[in-house]
Amino acid sequence: MTKKPQKPQKPQKPRPTPRLSPKRRWLTVAAVLGTIAAETAFMRRRGYSVGLHTVVRCRKDHLFTTIWIPGASLKSIRLGIVRFQYCPVGRHFTSVRPVKDAELTEEIRVAAALYHDVSIP
């Protein structure tokens, strides 16, 4: 018995990566922006300030300032309204949460401004 010679197989073209349709892309962008806006509105309504110099308190009651931008965190792990990051006062990793504006006195603001966590390079 003789074997049939096999035909050389054509190399298969790689499948193109699926692309989002323009409508779906806009819906995704709108959903992300809506979520960020909702988080910002929620925090403002509850009395928190957000931005580049937000006063936060760690679990051991240390106060310092950090960058707190809703929807983004480059140097911390987001856990809802709490974030896990480095505390420059106690020099430890811990969970931090923002301090309400009503709780902030001038002395607390000055004390917190003395310590700022690491800058973003």
What is the DSSP secondary structure assignment for residue 84, as one 8-state letter?
E
Instruction: Pull the structure tokens for residue 91.
Output: 């020099």
- For the segment 19-52, what is each residue's pLDDT rounded down to a tens digit? 778 888 899 999 999 998 998 898 889 998 888 8
**Does the reported pTM lie above 0.85?**
no
Q: Distance (Å, rounded) from C-alpha 121 to C-alpha 113?
A: 20
Classify burial at 112, counting beta carbons within 10 Å of its beta carbon; exposed 0-12, middle 13-18, buried 19 or more. buried
